[in-house]
Amino acid sequence: MPILFLDFDGVLHPEHCHESKHFCCLPILEEALRQVPECRLVITSIWRLENPFHALRDRFSPDIGARIEGVTPRLSDLKQVPGPLVSYQREAECHAWLWANGVAHRPWLAVDDRSWPYRPFCKSLFLVNGATGLVTSSAAQLVECLQKLR
């Protein structure tokens, strides 16, 4: 059962877009996720620091929202960060969530518009063009990647 760690800005809508465009790419993501029904989600977005969990989950369709298992911890709240992950905030937070939830063995993929919060050549990172957010063609590639994790 794969886990998708999900960023919002630059993925679910273009980076730095007007708030009227927020979540304009969400239907594309949701349609993709319906093709991989066993996939669970964890929110990595900075939005997790500013909004209650229920408010984040409520932005999603009920069937997809029910698959959201939580949010990653804040790097500053972590007690131990393995040396190789110290400089890679999002990847460290993803690993911390996996360890804290006893599922470090589960396959995972992070969808983000920025590579620098992950180690170079991170095989668990799916990059999206932040200027557009998730588009149909990249969503099809995302489905393929998630299906390979089964």
pLDDT in tens, 3-50: 999 999 999 999 999 999 999 999 999 999 999 999 999 999 999 999
Q: Contact at 8 Å (CB) between 22 and 60?
A: no
Q: How many CB atoms lie within 10 A of CB 91?
A: 21
Q: Return the H-helix or E-strand segment holding 126.
A: strand 125-127
Distance of alpha carbon 21 from alpha carbon 126, whole angstroms: 22
pLDDT for the residue numbered 150: 82
The 10s digit of each residue's pLDDT in 66-96 is: 999 999 998 666 667 666 766 788 999 999 9
User: Could you say which of 3.90.550, 1.10.10, 3.30.70, 3.40.50 is the CATH number of the domain covering 6-148?
Assistant: 3.40.50
Question: What is the reported pTM?
Answer: 0.94
Give the domain ranges of the chain: 6-148
